[in-house]
Amino acid sequence: MNDKAAHTHAEGHAHAILRWSDDSAHDIEETTRYPLMTEAIRQILVEKGIISADAVRHLIEQMDARSDVTGGKIVARAWVDPAFKERLLANTKEAIAELGIPEVDATHLIVVENTETVHNVVVCTLCSCYPRMVLGMPPEWYKSKAYRSRVVREPRAVLKAFGTELADNVTVRVHDSNADMRYLVLPMRPLGTEGWSEDALAHIVTRDCMVGVTVPRVPAKAHAVE
């Protein structure tokens, strides 16, 4: 997010003044001002011995290692342990710390719960803010202008395009992750998972379920090929 935050939020009038804020720069394969500055600073810091190339590599490796597996574990625990779920919703950081997942900083994470009457879906209209600490890197569609502009305005049509149709009595609640908080959707546990292990449950909690564009489903055993 940080690389984009500085130059994607000004639109409209602002374009005349801040030419570098043109969002289309992200769609062009060329080395633009900020990547170039970043690379230059990195090289100088390494040359001066202030940081090592290995330290930079290690941090990138750590960042890339984050994935939706973490989010799945959190959701599965919430499904099997109602007291944990209450703590997760009320005090997210402390609850996630209980799980002993190293290096997950959930300080600014808000968990929003799907119920029979509320369906949550997350977007960042200004750039691509995403709960990377629990879901890893965002998918391309999450960063697309089409998703970002449409899901706030016609969320039900967008959800339908993802194969998710919601009844009119369900409130669709869009969360625009536009500032400092990040959002994780806690989906409903699907029927047919009674007695499942926490690990088995975690496997059906996919990234898209936790962004809120779909819901967890039980794989159809009947279709298994002999």
Partner 1 sequence: MSPAVVSPRRFAPGDRVTVTYTHPPGHRRIPYYIRGKSGLVERYCGAFPNPEELAYGFDGLPARHLYRVRFQQTEIWPTYDGPAHDTLDLEVYEHWLSPAEEDAS
Residue labelled with tokens 């960063």: 143
Please report whether residue 155 would count as binding partner 1 according to CB under 8 A: yes
Label residues 117-131 b or e (16+ Cβ within 10 Å = b).
eebbbbbbbbbbbbb
Please report whether residue 220 would count as binding partner 1 according to CB under 8 A: no
Beta carbons within 10 angstroms of residue 208's beta carbon: 21
Is 177 noted as a catalytic residue in this protein? no
Burial of 89 (0-12, 13-18, 19+ CB in 10 A): middle
Q: Pick from 17, 28, 83, 225 the residue near partner 1 by CB under 8 A.
A: 17
Q: What are phi and psi of 38, to 5 degrees?
A: -60, -45
Q: How far apart are CA 30 and CA 161, in angstroms?
A: 32
Q: How far apart are CA 107 and CA 94, in angstroms?
A: 9
Active-site residue, selected from the candidate residues 21, 127, 144, 209: 127
Please report whether residue 165 would count as binding partner 1 according to CB under 8 A: no
Q: From the CB of 111, what's the least distance to partner 1, in Å? A: 12
- Over the window 180 to 199, marking each residue x when it contacts partner 1 by CB under 8 A and - when it does not, the resulting string is xx------------------
Q: From the CB of 10, what's the least distance to partner 1, in Å? A: 6
Q: Pick from 174, 188, 190, 193 the residue near partner 1 by CB under 8 A.
A: 174
Catalytic residue numbers? 124, 127-129
Q: Which residues bind partner 1 (CB under 8 A)?
A: 5-6, 9-14, 17-18, 110, 125-126, 152-157, 168-169, 171-181
